Amino acid sequence: MPEAALEYRILIHAPVGKDARLIAELFGRAGIDCGVCAQLDQLMEELGRGAGALLVADEAITPEFLRAVGHFVEHQQGWSDLPVLVMSRREAASPGLQHRYLELGNVSLLERPAQGVTLVSAAQSALRARRRQYAMREVDQRKDEFLAMLGHELRNPLAPIRAASDLLRLPSLGPERIQQTSEIISRQVKHMTGLIDDLLDLSRVSRGLVTLDETLLDARQIVTAAVEQVRPLVDARRHRVTIQMPGEAAFVHGDQKRLVQIVANVLNNAAKYTPEGGEIGVALFADEDTVSYVVSDNGIGMAPHMIEHVFDMFAQAERSSDRSQGGLGIGLALVRNLVALHGGRVAAYSEGIGKGSRFTVTLPRVEDAAREAAPAAHGLAPAQAQTLHLLVVDDNEDAGQMLGMYLEMAGYRVTVVQSARAALDAVRADTPDVCLLDIGLPDIDGNELARQLRQMPHMASATLIAITGYGQEADRARTAAAGFDHHFVKPVDMQALLAVLAGEGGLGEPTLPHLP
């Protein structure tokens, strides 16, 4: 019998007569696993291996039995309360004699002679109770692992914060080192704040304290915003992300911030559990009644038993022993709760360890009549947006394409290139109204590219927007000196970017989607 199955069997101890054999045959016909232990030492050995319940005949409860089994019961783990079924004679069930069973703990008395249906019903009831105990054992184990992870995750940022604070006490520390130290503290505090926010968020959702701000949304814009949100982790791990979306809008009712959070959490999970340089796919499918977000990866995959618990709180501890992915393992639990609030469902699938994973979030699709009344997906009318031609320059092909896709969905005409030299060629062929330039370009620095563009007569009136990972005042001063009109720090605040573009197009302040 497999080790796991031992925990769901009933051990029968009736050392005299035919009771044990007859009961075992009865349980066998009812589909209940059992084992007969004629001797006390055999019983104690089998209890140590695992049992769902113990059924014992009254005459077997000797002082030796009470000492041995009583000691076993007393030293059970906190989650365990082994059910003990005692087949007792009428006189043994009298109040005056029942006190001797107290040492056995969780005892149920079955008066003899007992009907077969009574024995089977009592055994099944005891096993149901035992299964609930095993479930609590798993929760306790995951909770303990989670608390260990929480301590680890909070100590990680505390170490550089403490070192930085000690460094700041040194009188000889120069301005440049002070700035670097300050940035380290800021990054680590932000990381710790994110961990705590995740915990509080899950707590609020689990207790029903979250109110959704539901509006009519184009499901495609959720994908765009979620991918942009996870982009830093994806880029850091050098993953290749492919996106598949329908050409036509598919509308859902929901809270935009929370829907982005759902898809971003699933994407974040895929990025963490896919080795560097892996493949991640994001697809949006729509049929008559539903809209489905499907995130797949070629990462570490999941064992079948893990799939059953992947959306449970604390489940992450089983995914990795080295904790290299970081985080608290509550992202998917939050996903499940938020999807349920939106009237949807979420499912996970994996062919096994090392074979990747697939997560599917399915939401109700809005009926046709409601779709016709829906506003434009990004709050900008296509006729208005098309007055501007945008040039996006970013050597990170995925980042450039995602930004370009987002702006195209807003209705703009967009050209995307990956180098400064390609940008110079592009502006000579087709003058853009707005250039969105990454600063860290490989061939020509973004600031130098801006200076060269400003020297071209036909680019004198173009709007230049810097897109960079640096946001200090010195960085903003350098981009302003190079000729940029605006400075955006990655990840770009899309809401603010659309507001700038609307102003450049002479449209005034647009009605913008709420993006996190």
Res 139: pLDDT: 77
Residue 321 has pLDDT above 50, yes or no: no
Say which residue, 149 or 390, is predicted with more confidence: 390
pLDDT band at 26; cut points 50, 70, 90:
very high
Which residue type sits at 143? K
Distance in angstroms (rounded) separating the CA atoms of residues 88 and 101: 11
Pairing of strands 290-297, 84-88: unpaired
Least confident of 184-188, 290-294, 479-483: 184-188
* Sheet order of strands, 463-468 included: 413-417, 389-393, 434-438, 463-468, 486-489
Residue 295 has pLDDT above 80, yes or no: yes
Q: What is the pLDDT of residues 412-428, one digit of tens each?
A: 999 999 999 999 999 99
Res 327: pLDDT: 52
Res 411: pLDDT: 83
User: Are the beta carbons of 246 and 286 closer than 8 angstroms?
Assistant: yes
Q: What is the pLDDT of residues 143-173, one digit of tens each?
A: 776 676 677 667 767 878 888 888 888 888 8
Pairing of strands 251-255, 214-218: antiparallel
Which residue type sits at 223? V
DSSP 105: -
Distance in angstroms (rounded) separating the CA atoms of residues 510 and 411: 13
- Chain mean position to CA 45: 42
Residues 6+ apart with CB under 8 A from 23: 12, 14, 34, 55, 119
φ, ψ for residue 76 (rounded to 5)? Answer: -65, 155
Q: For residue 437, how many other CB atoms are within 10 A of its CB?
A: 25
Residue 22, SS3?
A: helix
Q: What is the pLDDT of residues 92-141, one digit of tens each?
A: 555 555 666 777 889 988 888 888 899 999 999 999 999 999 888 877 77
Res 483: pLDDT: 94
User: Are the beta carbons of 409 and 221 closer than 8 angstroms?
Assistant: yes
For the chain, give the longest Cα–Cα distance: 110
* Residues present in the chain in total: 516
- Chain mean position to CA 270: 9
* Burial of 400: CB neighbours in 10 Å, binned 0-12, 13-18, 19+: buried
Least confident of 40-44, 143-147, 323-327, 488-492: 323-327
Res 499: pLDDT: 87
Res 18: pLDDT: 78
User: Are the beta carbons of 300 and 307 closer than 8 angstroms?
Assistant: no
Least confident of 220-234, 355-369, 370-384: 370-384
Across the range 354-376, mean pLDDT stands at: 75
Res 363: pLDDT: 96
DSSP 419: S
User: Are the beta carbons of 133 and 83 closer than 8 angstroms?
Assistant: no
* Sheet order of strands, 34-36 included: 34-36, 10-13, 53-57, 84-88, 107-111
φ, ψ for residue 492 (rounded to 5)? Answer: -70, 135
Per the prediction, the chain carries an average pLDDT of 82
Res 102: pLDDT: 74
Angle at 233 between CA 354 and CA 213, to 5 degrees: 105
Q: What percent of the chain has pLDDT over 70?
A: 85
pLDDT band at 190; cut points 50, 70, 90:
confident
Domains annotated for the chain, with CATH where assigned, are 3-136 (3.40.50.2300), 143-206 (1.10.287), 214-372 (3.30.565.10), 382-504 (3.40.50.2300)
Closest listed residue to residue 49, CA positions, set 5, 6, 102: 6
As given in the structure block, the two tokens for residue 155 are 């100590």
φ, ψ for residue 359 (rounded to 5)? Answer: -120, 135
Res 72: pLDDT: 92
